[in-house]
A = this chain, B = another copy of it.
Amino acid sequence: MPNRAWTLQHRPEGMPRPSDFALVELPDAPLGEGELRVRNLWLSVDPYMRGRMNDVKSYVPPFQLGKPMDGGAIGEVVESNDPSFQRGERVQSMLGWREEAVGPASAFAKLPDLNVPDRHHLSVLGMPGATAYFGLLDVAEAKQGDTVFVSGAAGAVGSVVCQLAHARGMRVVASAGGPDKCGWLKDVGVDEVIDYKAEPNLVKALARAAPDGIDVYFDNVGGGHLDAALAVAKPFARFAICGMISSYNDGGALSLRFATRIIGARLKIRGFIVSDHYGDFDRFHREMSEMVKVDQLHVRETVLEGFEKTPEAFLGLFTGTNIGKMLVRV
């Protein structure tokens, strides 16, 4: 079997380009003691990977030039030198962007037994779903009756935030780009949808959609969305800062006209990373898999077919080609 991988060739400045990646053939790796060989079936591409392309210290180390990229992946064990894993088992790892993942058994985890399609473990029942769940309920402390504003609302995280908030009795105001995404969000129960690409003034649009203000802002976007949320926040509103995709590529400064409202409205703004909540994943898995099964949560995934498409899938995150979670089927 061939074993190809996508490596990072250049650290991008601004928006990454296809030429920043290279498709390489990895040499045959003999399987060491305690190691697994896994055929990857599904790969995840996520906005946070953009940060790892810069050579700066952050909460995850930067990607190494000339080395295979990392990322969430689900695969099937094809060879095991560890007695606790059997050939044919489905596992997940961070050894994505390659067709075959080889590593110590500790780098792999069996899929939790939730009786859902495998790929959901990379979307609603995996990292993006957990980001939505813990960000909304624990970080932003959102509760029934709150008005919740969600940016990047049609994405992997945002679309789960919207539906979870709706299911918990919150009023949901969502922003997304374009009629397809906005229409879908209406279909899954969002109360007010803002097509930010069609709005000349986001502050005014948000004030119309939430005339009494917002109790919670779930930020996937940063930039003008964060500023608009500051402008309309109610006293003591809580902001969960999950991502700022609008600034990952431009490298420019975030400009906030309404920053002093942090003081006047006594806002509580918290950044978070889902891995800090791994200890509480059982609760998340239990509650969210139930929602999926009873169709309270509509899973939307955008799947690109073929390992070759991995960079294209990744780049599409920044132009907004996906609705729901962006995945690659290897």
Contacts and interface: CB of A to CB of B under 8 A. Distances in A.
A14 to B, nearest CB: 15
Contacts of A257: 253-254
Nearest to A256: B254
A256 B230 CA distance: 15
- Number of this chain's copies in the assembly equals 2
Contacts of A265: 59, 271
A174 interface: no
Contacts of A256: 253-256
A272 interface: yes
B276 A260 contact: no
Nearest to A262: B271
A303 interface: no
A271 B276 contact: no
Nearest to A57: B264
A311 interface: no
A241 B262 contact: yes
Central interface residue in A58, A257, A263, by most chain B CB within 10 Å: A263
B51 A260 contact: yes
Given A269-B269, A269-B270, A270-B268, A242 B254 contact: no
Contact of A262 (B58, B260, B266, B269): B269
B259 A263 contact: no
A263 B272 CA distance: 5
Contacts of A129: none
Interface in A237-264: 241-244, 247-248, 253-257, 259-264
For the complex of A and B, the 8 pairs showing the least CB-CB separation, nearest first, are A262-B271, A254-B259, A263-B271, A269-B269, A253-B255, A254-B256, A253-B257, A58-B264
15 contacts: A59-B264, A59-B265, A241-B263, A244-B259, A254-B255, A254-B256, A254-B259, A256-B256, A262-B271, A263-B272, A267-B269, A267-B270, A268-B268, A268-B269, A269-B269
